[in-house]
Amino acid sequence: MRIIVSGGGTGGHIYPAMALIKRLKERDLIEDVLYVGTEKGLESKIVKNAGIDFKTIEIRGFKRKLTVENVKVVELFLSSIRKSKKIIKDFKPDIVVGTGGYVSSAIVYAAHVSHIPTVIHEQNTIAGVTNKFLAHFVDKIAIAFPDVVDQFSEKKKLVFAGNPRAQEVVDIKKNDRLKEFNLEANKPTVMIFGGSRGAKPINLATIEAMDKFLTADYQILFVTGRVHYDNVVKKIDSKYLKSANISVLPYIDNMPEILPDLNLIVGRSGATSIAEITALGIPAVFIPSPYVTHDHQTKNALSVSNVGAAKLIPESDLTAESLFEEIDGIMRDESLQKKMSVESKKIGVPDAADRLIKVLLDLVNK
């Protein structure tokens, strides 16, 4: 299969695309693959580092207000479609897949008008603007949350696939990696993590709760994010940094490898995080970012917390007390942990990449 994949802007669009490509390669289903993104986008670094062929187009998203700048955006979109048509003509794909972000709009639309089979993947409970636009033209719309169904009028195109990222973590086994962070390998562990860049409100609440975590019957792996690490360390008393019960790190490379060693995860509720957590059935406390488009992280978190697989703390309610009470209440109740794990696994989709691949194969072989 010759495939073009496009998605950018955030890791939430890029990592599912990369997981799909990885699984296609594992199943020896790729003859050739090309990733289309923007030169300045996060995808440029991630895709190039993975050794995948990468081509760029210049495109920007619309401003929400009517401005002169939007005229330039339209011009760029039309220009990017012309370049995308040339990319398609040269590469000759069997199928084109878009995983979101405005960069995927041009290449997927160009594939449509070039009569190439097309699929988009929507990771969140709130459909993105790009995917809503492309939904009118593509052959199939793969979704990761049932909640998003009503946001697409093209119901016959919808297929539930889950998030391909989930399949990358499901086969990872428990290991002794906690020892790398000066923690005990077999002691119940909570990871508090605000994303790769960290989250200041989560960090501040965790710092203020340190005294209570110091004497807990479980250990804390506190990942601050690289941007915040130095400031966090300055604010933490040295006794906490020296504690055998608390480990403070800026970031963890190959984060998925450590997930099976965790009893509870506390952090943001991006689609990729939820896919990984539910695939492994790990209890969670979600603190959604209120700054994302359409507050979709809150909707994502609700879809998991409403079935009892996670707890939710709105950022406006986040304090050292609310954070500790939620964590401590779960960690002191093994039956609750088991119940949350069971419910989490029920909504997890550990074969998500294979489900999405089936959609692709059905279209290519149609």
Residues of each annotated binding site for UDP-N-acetyl-alpha-D-glucosamine? 10-12, 124, 196, 252, 297
Could you list the residues known to form a binding site, using ranges: 10-12, 124, 196, 252, 297
Pairing of strands 219-223, 118-122: unpaired
Using DSSP's 3-state secondary structure scheme, residue 55 falls into strand
- What sign does the CA torsion over 55, 359, 12, 75 have? positive
Residues 6+ apart with CB under 8 A from 4: 33, 34, 35, 36, 87, 88, 91, 93, 95, 96, 97, 107, 111
Residues 6+ apart with CB under 8 A from 257: 172, 175, 177
Q: Give the 3-state secondary structure of 59-78.
A: CCCCCCCCCCHHHHHHHHHH
One-letter amino acid at 286 equals F
Residue 14 structure tokens: 């890029």
Element housing 3 (H / E): strand 2-6
> Which letter does DSSP use for residue 34 in this model?
E
Q: Count the Cβ atoms, other than its own, within 10 Å of residue 325.
A: 14
